[in-house]
Amino acid sequence: MKLHMASMGFLLVLGIWNMGPLMAAPPELQSEALTVTMEGAQYEHRIEKSRFNVGASERHEAEGPYKRIVGAKGAFMIDTVTGATLAVPHAPVIPKGTQEGSDFPRALTENPDIHSALVQAYLVAAGVPAAEVSGTHVTTTMAGGGPVSGGIQPSQSKLLWYTTHLERSLGGIPVEGSFAFAALDSAGDVITEGVYWPAIPAHIVLNAQRLEDRLDSVDEWHAFLARIKAVQPDVGDTVGKVKIVHTSAGHHGPFEAKAVYSIVVRSANRGKAQIMWFDDTGASVKMADEMESASDSMKR
């Protein structure tokens, strides 16, 4: 069975994991105490820490940098380059109404707040750094009935499960690209989960804090926005947010992390909005994995 990343589902609204020492701070920062900031700790999820049960007839598979532990119930997959993991159940029988005996998992609770609290406790106990979890959000998996032509019928839909996603921040700055999520069933076991939580150097966090402090000044913000608009006019007067971004879970090149000003830019022709990143000078930022995707698209 092929173990390509696409089959692992790591194209999530989704460097080498075991990187050794963190990237050294630039010389001008080395003399400055980092007491007001923090580095981002790496967390590597593994099946020994997981509540996901692959089931009977367990076997191990490997191809290139990808490893899978596969059983009768599902598969636990590991990218040995980035350290990202994904656990997925095998396709179950879709229940009809409230059909008993279905092997589809039952939801832990119909209260998303309770689910989020329990998922956060589970992932933190497994090793996700509690101090870096700044919040949660929930997505919902539903099953529905009725004719396809009629569209979604809420009255005929049934909650299958919630999936709670942990949000990460460092020194008060949101981190985009890291993820830790899980869905729990009625027994408190994992239905599906995924984790990518790489190390973030302290000087990147400090750069982000400095940029945020600078843009707290109205004059500085207007001057900064003017520089952005000079090269990207369609930004308009959109207010963005300082964030830390890093290369994705599927990127097998050198790891990158940067402090950026993130703006959602909406198309003038009602097209799809896009997220644009700018550095502290107002120059556009592209991460290595974005440039690879653009190059691949052109080749195709």
| Residue-level pLDDT, tens digit, the chain, 300 residues | 444 433 334 333 333 233 333 334 444 444 343 445 589 999 999 999 999 999 999 999 999 999 999 999 999 999 999 999 999 999 865 555 544 445 678 888 889 999 999 999 999 999 999 999 999 999 998 876 656 565 556 566 788 899 999 999 999 999 999 999 999 999 999 999 999 999 999 999 999 999 999 999 999 999 999 999 888 888 877 889 999 999 999 999 999 999 999 998 876 666 677 889 999 999 999 998 886 554 443 333
> What's phi and psi for 234, nearest 5 deg?
-75, 0
pTM score > 0.85 for this model?
no
Computed over every residue of the chain, the mean pLDDT equals 82
**H or E element that contains 230:** helix 218-231
Q: 126-176, pLDDT tens digit by residue?
A: 999 999 999 999 999 887 665 656 555 656 678 889 999 999 999 999 999
| pLDDT of 96 | 52
Q: 164-214, pLDDT tens digit by residue?
A: 999 999 999 999 999 999 999 999 999 999 999 999 999 999 999 999 999
Long-range Cβ contacts of 288-293 (<8 Å, 24+ apart):
288/247, 288/251, 288/253, 288/254, 288/256, 289/247, 289/248, 289/250, 289/251, 289/253, 292/251, 292/253
Do 122 and 184 meet the contact criterion of CB atoms below 8 Å apart? Answer: yes
Do 9 and 74 meet the contact criterion of CB atoms below 8 Å apart? Answer: no
CA dist 81 to 39, 123, 195, 203, 291, Å?
21, 22, 14, 24, 19
AA identity, residue 269: N
Please tell me the distance from the alpha carbon of residue 285 to that of residue 289, in angstroms, as a whole number: 12
| pLDDT of 22 | 34
